[in-house]
Amino acid sequence: MGKFYFDEFQDQVDEVLIRHRSILDILTKIQESSGRVNRAVAKSVTDCGCIQVNSQKQSIPKDISYSELKEHMSDHVDGYLCGVCKEKIEEEICASIFYITGLCNSFNLNLDDMLEKHASKIDMLGKYGLL
């Protein structure tokens, strides 16, 4: 498995995250940015209308194996993000990743190593490891 791009990004975050470097600032910024992701998705539905959320109970056949389950699960999203909504949601997700990376820096955790370790775990356990 190749290296992720996150090493460079993590160094970059370490250089520029100055004002909100306190662990308390970082934790509250993660929460705030998560709320902004939620808001951007909601506005894509309610303001723009480029997507619709049609949620209902998942319809799962009784005699189905776990490996077939994905075929019967819905993400409840109809439509596609328009360019404006896609850009806004990407921006907000990137802000969340930025502060999560800042949290990693606070604890001397290497994001690249963590993702590689987690990817290996997923690769080894497959979909059954996420039960």
Q: How many CB atoms lie within 10 A of CB 65?
A: 6
Mean pLDDT value across the chain = 90
- Do the Cβ atoms of 20 and 102 come closer than 8 Å? yes
- Domains contained in the chain, CATH given: 6-130 (1.10.287.1080)
Give the model's pLDDT for residue 47: 97
CA–CA distances in Å: residue 106 to residues 13, 26, 32, 73, 111:
11, 9, 18, 38, 12
Lowest pLDDT segment from 31-45, 57-71, 81-95, 103-117: 57-71
pLDDT by residue (tens digit) across 97-108? 999 999 999 999
Measured N-to-C along each axis, helices 111-125 and 6-16 cross at an angle, to the nearest 10 degrees, of: 150
User: In the 8-state DSSP scheme, what is residue 68?
Assistant: G
CA–CA distances in Å: residue 43 to residues 64, 84, 110:
36, 11, 34
Q: Does 125 score more than 70 pLDDT?
A: yes
For the chain, give percent helix, strand, coil, nearest 5.
65, 5, 30
pLDDT by residue (tens digit) across 32-66? 999 999 999 999 999 999 999 999 998 888 888 88
